[in-house]
Amino acid sequence: MQRIFRAGALTAGVLVAAFGLPAGPAHADTDTPRVDLRVLVVSDGGPATEAIAAELDTAGTPYTTIDLTDADRPVIDTAFLADTVDGRPRARFQAVVLPDDNPFAAGSDEMDALAAYERTYAVPQVDAYTYARPEAGLRYPVDDGYSGGLDGVQAQVTAAGRTGPFGYLEGAVPFEDNSPDVGESYAYLSQPAPGADFTPYVDAPIPGSNARGSLVGEYRHDGRRELVVTFVYNRYQQQFRLLARGIVDWMTDGLHLGASRNYFAVHVDDVLAADDRWNTDLDCTPGDVDCTDPSATPDPIRMTPADVDHALAWQADRRFTLDLAYNAAGSVDQREDHGGVDALADRLIAARDRFRWINHTYTHAFLGCVQDTSVVPWKCATNADGSTRWVSRSEISAEIANNRVWGRNVGLPLEDDELVTGEHSGLAVLPQQGEDNPHLGPALADNGIGWLGSDNSREPGRRQVGPATTVPRYPMNVFYNAARAAEQVDEYNWIYTGRAQGGSGICEDNPATTTCLDAPLDPATGYQDHIVPLETRTALSHVLGNDPRPHFIHQSNLAEDRIAYPVLDGVLGGYDALFAADTPVVNLRMKDIGAELEHRAAWRAALDAGSVTAYRIGDAVTVQAPAGTAVPVTVPTGTTLAGTVFGEAYAGRMSGWTSSADGPPTLSLPSSAAAPLDDTASAGGTTPAPAPAPATTVPVGVSESVPYTSDR
C-alpha cells in the first residue's frame, strides 16, 4: 500500500492560487433548486446520532442539530426545511440524519414534512440506528434474523458497498470485543423485506444460519433514499470509525464542506542521548530525582548501529518515516569518552536523509523553573523574595541554537522552525510549575521557532507561546526507561496495581484511570498479550479519527528488545488489513501537522461565527466565506476549478483546502455527479406512514482515555 509522505497532504496552498478569479456565472434559470451544503441532524440524545455529529464536526462539515428532548426546539415543517432565495427554491439541508427511521409519534406532521422534503429535493436520510422492520425495508429479526450482541464478530462490506460508499475499505469490519464483562455492540441482523428495493452495504453472518443479515444498507422507496443502520455504536468504537466516512459520503453524494484523512506520525525522542533504565528491584529509575536509594546506579539505554539498521529496514517494509528528535550532546559526550568514536551517530548521519529530524535541544536540559531536587517530589527553586527562579532566556536559546548548529554541521535535513524541548519543559507542568517559563517565548523568537511540541495528555489544545504554536503529541504508554519487555511489564505492574499487590496505588487514588489491573501481568507474556493490544487499539483509534496529532516514543524503545515495533506494527499492519490502497495512512512532519491544525481552528471559528455558506445549483458549487479563509472541500472525482482538476485524491474522492481571497469560488462538478434531482432510480408510488420503531437496546458505550506517560 502506498503511503503519503509529502508535506501538507491537506494543507492550505493545494489550490489557493486557483481562486484568484471572479465568482462563477450566474444561473439564468430559476427552476433548478439551490441545495445548501449543510446537514440536518435530528437527535434523541442517543450515541448513534451523537457519533455522526462528531464525525461531521471532526471533518469540518456544517450541520444543524434539532434536539427532540428539548421542549423549546424548532418545529420541523416545510418553512423550516425549505424557502426561496432570489426567486429560486432553496433546500436548506443536503442530507437528514434521524435517530431511527421514524422518531416521531404516529401520524406526525413533522415526519410527513421531512418525507415530502426528501422526495421533492432528493435529499437522502440516514437512520442512525433503527429496528429492522418492513418500514425500513427489512424483515423483522424474528423472521430468520437475529437480535443480540455482536462483540467480536467480523462483519463484511458487500460487493455493492465496495463499489458504493464503502469502497475505501478492504472488506472486513471487525466489531470490538474489549471486555468480556461489557456488552459493547448490539444489532439487528435481517434480510430485505419481500419486494423491497433494499441493497445491503455491510452485513454479517446470522447466528445459526448460512444466511447473512444487513447491518448497513440502502432502502429506496416512495421517491426517497434511506441509509438503514441496524447496530448501535458510539463515536469511539472501531466499527463506527471504519464506516463513518462512508456514511457521510453516502448522505452527501460525495460532495460536502470539510475533509478527512487517516493520519499517523511517530516522534522518537532522545535520539543520540541515553535514557536511564527502570530498576525492577527498587521500583524506580536511577538518575531520576525520586530514586533516592543509595544503591541506585544508573544503567543507561542507548541505541546501537544495528538498531539504526533495523529501523531503516522497518521503515522500508512499512513505507513509513520516523521523526527523530535528537540531542546532540549525547554524541559529543560519547566521542569525548571514547576517543572520538560514536558509531551510533556515524550510522545515523550516514542515513540522515532516510529519517525526518527535529531539534530536541542540545543536552535535554529542563527549561522551566530551576528545579530544587533536595525534596521529593522536586519543587521550583525560589529567589530571596520568594519569586520563582527561572532558567534564563540565554540558557534556553543556547540549548536550541547549539543543537541546530551541530545538526547543520553534520548535514541533517532540519526544519529550523520545529522544536521539542526535553520533557516539554519550559511549558507549564503541574503541580510544580503552574505557568510557562516567561523566558521561553522570547528565546523561541530569538531562534525562529514556529512550532513547539507539547504533551497532549497535559494540553490537548494548541496555543501560542511567543511566536510559536504548540503541536500536541500523544504519549504512547511504552515507557522511556524500558528497552526490554520484562522492564516494561514490571513498571506497568508497579504503576497500575494496588498497594496490596506491591503497586504504586495510583489506581486507588485515581479510580477513573482506565488501565488499572486486577492482578499483575505475567512478566513473560504481559507485554505482548496485554500492553501491545491496548496501545495498538488506542493509537489506531486516533488514526481512524481524522486526528493528525503525532505520537511520541523514545530511542530506548528502539534498542535491545525494540519494544516499540510490536505496537507500531499493530497500528500499521492493522490499518493495511482494513483499508484499500486508495486510502493510505498520511505521514506528515510536525510543521505540516501544525499547519493542518491551524487551518482547522480558523475554519472552526468561521463556522462558529456563522460566516460560511456553500450551495449547489445544478453542476456548480459556490462557497462563500470570510476573505482569506481556507475552506476544506470534498468533491467527486473530476471536479474542476477554472478548468483545473480540484483537490487531491483520497478514499475515492478529491479534497483539499481552498481560499476565498478574491471572492466566492465556484467549482464545476463532473457530468458523472448528476444533480440529486436527476436521480430517477427510486421506485414510484407511496408507502404508509411507518409506525414508531420499538425501543432498542443501547449498551454502555466504550469511552476513550489515554493514560499519561511522562516524557523524559
* The pLDDT value given to residue 676: 62
Rounded Cα distance, 228 and 251, in Å? 11
User: Residue 273: what residue type?
Assistant: A
Query: What mean pLDDT comes out for the span 341-368?
Result: 98
pLDDT at 711: 40
Residue 357 sits at the vertex; the CA angle it makes with 356 and 358, to the nearest 5 degrees, is 135
Q: Where are the beta strands (DSSP E) in 47-117?
A: 63-67, 82-85, 88-91, 95-98
The 10s digit of each residue's pLDDT in 291-320 is 888 888 899 999 999 999 999 999 999 999
Q: What is the pLDDT of residues 676-688, one digit of tens each?
A: 654 443 333 333 3
**How much of the chain, in percent, has pLDDT values that exceed 70?**
90
Please name the fold of domain 38-254: Rossmann fold (3.40.50)
Cell 408507502, residue? 687
Tell me, what amino acid is at 386?
G
Note the pLDDT tens digit of each residue in 625-670: 988 888 999 999 999 987 889 999 999 999 999 876 555 678 999 9
Fill in the amino acid letter for 527: Y
At position 302, the amino acid (one-letter code) is R
* Res 388: pLDDT: 98
Q: Which three cell numbers stand for residue 340?
A: 572520538
What is d(CA 254, CA 614) in angstroms, rounded to the nearest whole number?
15
Q: Which pLDDT band holds residue 378 (cuts at 50, 70, 90)?
A: very high
List, for residues 471-488, the tens digit of each pLDDT value: 999 999 999 999 999 999
Give 518-564 pLDDT, tens digit per residue: 999 999 999 999 999 999 999 999 999 999 999 999 999 999 999 99
Instruction: Please say whether the beta carbons of 285 and 276 come within 8 A.
Output: yes
Check if the beta carbon of residue 270 is closer than 8 Å to that of residue 325. Answer: yes
Q: Helix 238-252 and helix 47-59: axis angle, to 10°? A: 70
Query: How far is 562 from 397, CA to CA, in rounded Å?
Result: 34
Alpha-carbon distance 64 to 535, whole Å? 35
- pLDDT value of position 28: 56
Which residues are CB-contacts of 456 (< 8 A; sequence separation ≥ 6)? 472, 473, 474, 475, 549, 706
* Domain locations along the chain: 1-33+579-678, 38-254, 266-478+546-573
CA–CA distances in Å: residue 689 to residues 103, 191, 222, 255: 12, 21, 11, 30
pLDDT of 13 higher than 50: no
pLDDT of 2 reads 39
More confident residue, 629 or 212: 212
Query: Which distant-in-sequence residues (6+ apart) come within 8 Å of 348 by Cβ?
Result: 271, 272, 308, 324, 355
Residue 704 reports pLDDT greater than 60: no
pLDDT at 54 exceeding the cut of 70: yes
Distance, CA of 429 to CA of 436 (rounded, Å): 8
Average pLDDT in the chain: 90
CA distances from 344 to 303, 353, 402 (A): 7, 15, 20
Choose among 427, 434, 436, 536: nearest CA to 471: 427
Instruction: Give the mean model confidence (pLDDT) for residues 260-266.
Output: 98
SS (H, E, C) 275-303: ECCCECCCCECECECCCCCCCCCCCCECC
pLDDT of residue 24: 38
Q: Which candidate, 540, 602, 568, places its Cα nearest to that of 263?
A: 540
Q: Are strands 648-650 and 653-659 parallel, antiparallel or unpaired?
A: antiparallel
Q: What CA–CA distances, in Å, run from 571 to 2, 239, 513, 690?
A: 16, 16, 23, 44
Q: What are phi and psi of 39, to 5 degrees?
A: -105, 140
Give the torsion sign (CA, 318, 320, 324, 325).
negative
Residue 445, pLDDT > 80, answer: yes
DSSP string, 346-396: HHHHHTGGGSEEEE--SS----SBPEETTSSS-EE-B-TTSPBPB--HHHH
Asked whether residue 620 carries a pLDDT value surpassing 70, the answer given is yes
Query: What CA–CA distance (Å, rounded) separates 426 from 435?
Result: 9
**Rounded-to-integer distance, Cα 261 and Cα 651, Å:** 9
Q: Among 164-168, 367-371, 439-443, 705-709, which is the least confidently predicted range? A: 705-709
Q: Identify the CATH assignment for 266-478+546-573 out of 1.20.950, 3.40.50, 3.20.20, 2.60.40.
A: 3.20.20
Question: Taking every pair of C-alpha atoms in the chain, what is the biggest distance, in angstroms?
Answer: 89
pLDDT tens track for 74-130:
999 999 999 999 999 999 999 999 999 999 999 999 999 999 999 999 999 999 999
Distance CA 623, CA 500 (A): 62
pLDDT at 20 over 60: no
For position 515, what pLDDT does the model report? Answer: 87
Dist. CA 538–CA 423, nearest whole Å: 22
Residues 591-618, mean pLDDT to the nearest whole number: 96
**Do the Cβ atoms of 111 and 164 come closer than 8 Å?**
no
* Mean pLDDT calculated for residue range 500-512: 90
Alpha-carbon distance of 522 to 306, in angstroms, equals 29
CB 269 within 8 A of CB 224: no
Q: Which residue has the higher pLDDT, 193 or 29?
A: 193
